[in-house]
Amino acid sequence: MARLLGEQGADLRLLVRSTSNTRNLEGLKAELVPGDLSNDESMGLGMEGCEFVFHVAADYRLWVRDPDQMYRANVEGTRAILRAAGARGVRRVVYTSTVATMGFSNGQPCDENSPVSLRDMVGHYKRSKWMAEQVVLDAAKAGANVVMVNPTAPVGERDIKPTPTGRIIVDFLNRRFPAYVDTGLNLVDVQEAAKAHLLAMERAKPGERYIVGGENLTLKQVLDRLAGITGIPAPTTKVPHSVALGFAVLDQFFTGVVMRGEPRATVDAVRMGRKKMFASSSKAEREIGYRAGSVDAALRRAVDWYRSQGYVS
């Protein structure tokens, strides 16, 4: 998104932690401001003179040893950003949420009005993002000019960590996908998701939220598409959720607790997978002019980027 804004001539100021990996910012004409979501003063200084603020920062993990850390970043960090933006006279805040806060039935695409509550949120990531949305909605009711963008599962280049979505691709490329479960998700080209944020800046109604997605695909369909791109055979064995849950319990305990590493499979991820996370972007298409498209090009770019950056052994 920063690259897209820069291409359009925007003056950019980017908040970065002192410990951040800034490789993705190389080549950007932007002012880098050291700061942290927990430091109100640094955020206020970063926003001084800014017309728009994009809040894209989040702790996005499906395994976290200290859950309080995630709530501090995702919930209290959002509250602090809105507070600083209000004090600095920022014209509009665009908050990046997630489709994970929506209400899912099994197989039917959700939309922004699907019934949902906090008790439907599986895991600390989803709960923290749902709680952050309530902070944003309360601010909007109090008069703040803030809008929400709810991307589905972004795919494409520059996923450094990688995110849980990117790990699907990396694991496939490294032939660590011997089987699959019956689940589904909506994939969106990360470049299209970035464009949607700019549309929200220009056209969204204050206090509204917009799902930004691409294609609804089962996990098997995603793996088959990756097979078509790479020539690596897709797994043909489907395992029950109960078997996947058992593996996740063991991996989470031994890798996460005993070895203090990051498990490949987590209980929360398997629990989320019981429902297909299909979604509709019709509201964004209707109200801000977003256009959802195929993710094939994004998958191909992701594969090429991971290979070129040494993620494939």
117-135 pLDDT, tens digit each: 999 898 899 999 999 999 9
**Which tens digits make up the pLDDT trace of 24-47?**
999 999 999 998 888 888 888 899
For residue 9, pLDDT over 90 is answered with yes
d(CA 295, CA 313): 25
For the chain, give the percent of residues with pLDDT over 70.
90
The string over 61-78, giving b where at least 16 C-beta atoms fall within 10 Å of a residue's C-beta and e elsewhere, is bbbbeeeeebbbbbbbbb
Task: Select 2-308's CATH number: 3.40.1360.10, 3.60.40.10, 3.40.50.720, 2.40.50.140.
Answer: 3.40.50.720
**Which tens digits make up the pLDDT trace of 59-78?**
988 778 889 999 999 999 99
d(CA 45, CA 14): 11
d(CA 237, CA 235): 6
Name the residue ranges covered by the structural domains of the chain.
2-308
Strands 184-189 and 153-155: parallel
d(CA 292, CA 163): 21
Taking the whole predicted model, whether its pTM rises above 0.75 is answered as yes
Cβ-contact 149, 136 below 8 angstroms: no
CA 170, 172, 173, 174: dihedral to nearest 10 degrees?
Answer: 90
Hey, CA dihedral for 247, 249, 250, 254, is it positive or negative? positive
Averaged confidence pLDDT in the chain? 91
